[in-house]
Structure 1
């Protein structure tokens, strides 16, 4: 078996700050050391304020479960709940369900917030919809009305009616989660609601080992069903801030992400940290595609992508199904069996139900159901999002290698013929909402290296007219490739190309050194506590020294590459393990189909079919958007680096 992929293997070799001595520290010692908040298209941070009536388990809901149904008489309510509403008020609520009256207003002016939540819970178990409002007298009341009939609401999905208007087709909500990936949590939600993953959409996947806030959209699901389901999940998650919109979310529908990162047990003086962070704030970092782009297992995804682009599907299959060092034992055993016998049916049939959702298993299933020579149809058993990822990884490898060569030869100098962004002009192709043109000698002084784009290879890109062009073409030539090789009749493998800035700067950069007692301390307050206005005491003191970093990055930029520049470390798993226990890499914060790559002039994905809310997706995609979960086979958690 092969060794794990390194930064050098994927073209990551340069740093900007040549005078940075670097320092050691513990990254992601706890999931609470890494906090990600999505920045919406309007530039505002996503927030989560829990509103009355939005609770994981309203008061009285557990009682309803015990009794296998809602209470029919006032005395069936638990005594604490009977203290909140009178028998007459309860009977009035019962009359709403029977249709005798249309609504009831319960005065809750003197109740606490928790007590009002319990009243909402009583309404919920009686199958009523409730909201806190002010009545004509200015009193705070809970208004209860009849909710959708049970027969029309199975698993939270609206059946037997047209539902909301087109303007309110999609429910958008804020999702807070801890220590679980976005796609994994969405799959759990979909399974519990008896719906499909594809009805959920989001602007970007967020890190697994972290606390994250992001917006999610879903169709055909009601808020109360979501709320109830989240309350039953076995992970820490919360939702709220519901709004209705005519459309769902697409990958890239965000302006970036804000990070709060704790680097624990650092061995560096405050003055040196200030010098490093000041340079980072002013100069930024090389905008490399991070190691997450290439997987962290023995066989990098760009090698598979190369085979696909060379139309060697058998070679791609052999790489995907090659046994690897850090796979689940059950998967590894099945692949070892297939490697020897080439009996895909036996290898697949021996897997447990859970393992049959892995990418390797899906490909084995495709092979066993297709003719021996029909590799293209076997590949159809792999979700489109995964298939396109392979090609994007190869594009990213060429981009990284090109930028490293450019920095090695020319540093941060702007060259004649470089590409800059521009307004769209007649006859000029546009990819991923980015229009580019070449600059001439007279314009060199007007632009800095931060304005310069380097193309990702594809069949429709504009190349710079300088040495950078040769770096790209020569690197492709080493693999027997040219730009036309990115054209393919299969939409998942057709790559027009894209553009990405060489260097980038983080925004809203701040930092501080903190002291605390031990390595397991929480040193960053939870966003959900802040957003709910909770006053949580947070005292930090002790012998251990840690660095808190706060920064905002544009979408498709990698926080790991920012940390690499600051700490002067290598972020591949092999390097981390040599230093200690290994670092679990964050999932790609954006989609593998970045918003500035591989799209046509209308900003739509160009034949790549990996839009998150693809309505024509088949059932095989329902629970298989776990790009890294399926490709990564190393699950290391932390590092002293």
Structure 2
């Protein structure tokens, strides 16, 4: 699937084999707002006395940076639910510090906010910002609202995107009465008119706490204003919040007991869900909360969806009751967080020994309050061994060690083309997942079913059952032949047995498997088109940013739609070399994206026409599939790259420049952002297709 795709670097590379065994390819997911999983795993193993599956070769110690916005540092950042409930996003009505208005929230890594601002802005600008904030508040206190509204303070150009994000967050937390705006990399600070208006209705402490809660945006968190017996006043507060934040928040009045043990009424605010739960009790938002259990899944030589099928069958729940943030490699040892609904931690612990026989281990089991979402991760850490190193045949007189060093330096500096990896498409299978996705988009339901049941060239129960079904269309007979853990196949066959192997029956069959699995195939097709588009873009324009290219706007405003954040490069911007190739994005096809207005956009239309999708709305209503599309950077960078060479005797590093190629292994360690593929990064390093 990656054959003939482009490279961004020009070094010769080298040859080698990957995934000789699962322990040669170890993937550890980096969580959002939680300690890194490798820390969690070690803690879990120490408690249980278990040992991780054996890994080959010595590992270099890794250290995590502890800077502004760093996660998992200084013992690990607390999860949102473990933080002080009075801190932004917590239920302030439950805070033990309600009567201590002078107390400031606890900060990451023990740093004071002022220290973070000093680090990000430099002390002189940080001091000017503090003075601006004090002067603005003085104007407000004196009633000079007009003067206050006219005040602005420029922080100057902040080129690094992460620094801008850290500044936005830090300033809003320390000065909730300020707002930050970015225009062409320049950050400006001014007074928050909404903050000022709410201050006229409630105390300043409540206003400050409310805006910190709003900025934190922690799912399932609530905020409560002080008890208020004045119904008309509560109505005004309700109206203000609904008018200014109604798309994001919803409010409810409920009865509380005040400090005099008298019944009173308070306003509770929470983030709006897609829809209200059907049942609500008088005393709260939801009569019964779902039961969630979180855990870390360690799997070996298993697909993520296959592992979920095993777990679901053993626990007596549906595969759709499991949530996760991404699909992990099959031919690897992988660690990833998961959450399962309707299963207690005790029940999950009971099946641990059975799952080990399937190549899985379950660590760090604990209660949770919500599911996970696809893409809800920072990225992945990889520990990879490349064996049987040799030079390319056209480069046989070169020095292998120099070639490896050159390749590592090149990719670390220039990055790699951000292709979707071969595992996205079902590497090595007779029918790849993108073919099924195309059939679903064309609403060719019977064809999609037959592609799904196309067997591999092996003689085993699963492929024998698939072979039998295609030959006979006997869904009931194929059901009997399939092993229990093949949950997807069984769900589909049950519907086909009931409704028949025709268009209607196959449609109902696809509806019988979880939505996440149905849309997986469509996303595979969209990924294939993106890969081809990236190669075409690099082939005709190279690394130059040209008129009609798409780049992401730097505006850090979450209320702006995704397409509005995408900017079309103009002719003057091309002439001025305003943007770099690292900022260029290409669309993943869907119904809500814009295409480049140059030759690449024309290529998309021609390519979709070739697959009979020129009129496709990317909504497959019969299957309840909605594909809005998104944007993906053409190039990506690798982080925390380190490597060493090892000889045939375990643990022996290679120092000399004359290597015995057949006995050399390369150990590589690096981090990649979410949705990036290690096999694609290795392809760029080695100049090999896998």
SS in 1 for 2:620: coil
Deviation at 1:181, TM superposition (A): 4.3
Contact kept in structure 1, 2:588 and 2:630, CA below 8 Å: yes
Counterpart in 2 of 1:366?
495
Contact kept in structure 2, 1:281 and 1:505, CA below 8 Å: yes
Deviation at 1:352, TM superposition (A): 4.0
Counterpart in 2 of 1:39?
30
Quick one: which of 397, 407, 410 aligns to 1:276?
407
Contact kept in structure 1, 2:462 and 2:483, CA below 8 Å: no
Counterpart in 1 of 2:263?
none
What do the CA deviations read for 1:274-313 (whole angstroms, capped 9, x no partner)?
Answer: 0011001111111111111221312222222222222222
Counterpart in 2 of 1:379?
510
Deviation at 1:169, TM superposition (A): 5.2
The answer to whether 1:562 aligns with 2:553 is no
What do the CA deviations read for 1:572-592 (whole angstroms, capped 9, x no partner)?
Answer: xxxxxxxxxxxxxxxxxxxxx
Quick one: which of 1, 7, 18 aligns to 2:2?
7
Q: 1:325 to 1:522 in 2, by over 3 A?
A: farther
Deviation at 1:384, TM superposition (A): 2.3
Q: Give the Cα–Cα distance (whole angstroms) in 1 for the partners of residues 496 and 582 of structure 2.
A: 47
Q: Give the Cα–Cα distance (whole angstroms) in 2 for the partners of residues 234 and 390 of structure 1.
A: 29
Q: Give the Cα–Cα distance (whole angstroms) in 2 for the partners of residues 171 and 333 of structure 1.
A: 36
Deviation at 1:35, TM superposition (A): 1.4
SS in 2 for 1:490: helix
Quick one: which of 354, 361, 364 aligns to 2:484?
354
Structure 2 length-normalised TM: 0.56
Deviation at 1:250, TM superposition (A): 1.6
Deviation at 1:491, TM superposition (A): 5.2
Quick one: which of 614, 621, 625 aligns to 1:493?
625
Counterpart in 2 of 1:443?
573
What does 1:219-238 correspond to in 2, within 5 Å?
219-235=341-357, 238=361
Counterpart in 2 of 1:476?
608
Q: Give the Cα–Cα distance (whole angstroms) in 2 for the partners of residues 321 and 346 of structure 1.
A: 14
Deviation at 1:198, TM superposition (A): 3.9
Q: 1:320 to 1:200 in 2, by over 3 A?
A: closer
The answer to whether 1:513 aligns with 2:513 is no
Q: 1:463 to 1:28 in 2, by over 3 A?
A: same
Contact kept in structure 2, 1:15 and 1:565, CA below 8 Å: yes
Counterpart in 1 of 2:543?
412
Counterpart in 2 of 1:548?
667
Contact kept in structure 1, 2:17 and 2:386, CA below 8 Å: yes
Task: After superposing the two structures, state which structure 1 stretch, 450-459 or 369-378, moved more.
Answer: 369-378
Quick one: which of 413, 420, 429 aligns to 1:289?
420
Q: Give the Cα–Cα distance (whole angstroms) in 1 for the partners of residues 482 and 336 of structure 2.
A: 33
Counterpart in 1 of 2:635?
503
Q: 1:166 to 1:439 in 2, by over 3 A?
A: farther
The answer to whether 1:201 aligns with 2:331 is no
The answer to whether 1:19 aligns with 2:14 is no
Deviation at 1:222, TM superposition (A): 4.3
Deviation at 1:347, TM superposition (A): 4.3
Q: 1:306 to 1:219 in 2, by over 3 A?
A: closer
Contact kept in structure 2, 1:55 and 1:227, CA below 8 Å: no
Higher relative contact order (CA 8 A, sep 6+): 1
Q: Give the Cα–Cα distance (whole angstroms) in 1 for the partners of residues 348 and 465 of structure 2.
A: 37
SS in 2 for 1:293: helix
Unmatched 5+ residue regions in structure 2?
A: 51-285, 392-399, 654-659
Structure whose residues are more often helix by fraction: 2
**What is the aligned length?**
433
Contact kept in structure 2, 1:331 and 1:355, CA below 8 Å: no
Quick one: which of 335, 346, 349 aligns to 1:213?
335
Counterpart in 1 of 2:438?
306
What does 1:88-167 correspond to in 2, within 5 Å?
none
Q: Give the Cα–Cα distance (whole angstroms) in 2 for the partners of residues 250 and 523 of structure 1.
A: 43
Q: Give the Cα–Cα distance (whole angstroms) in 2 for the partners of residues 240 and 339 of structure 1.
A: 40
Quick one: which of 216, 231, 250 aligns to 2:373?
250
Deviation at 1:244, TM superposition (A): 4.5
Deviation at 1:168, TM superposition (A): 10
Q: Give the Cα–Cα distance (whole angstroms) in 2 for the partners of residues 43 and 246 of structure 1.
A: 15
Contact kept in structure 1, 2:441 and 2:616, CA below 8 Å: no
Structure 1 length-normalised TM: 0.60
Contact kept in structure 2, 1:513 and 1:547, CA below 8 Å: yes
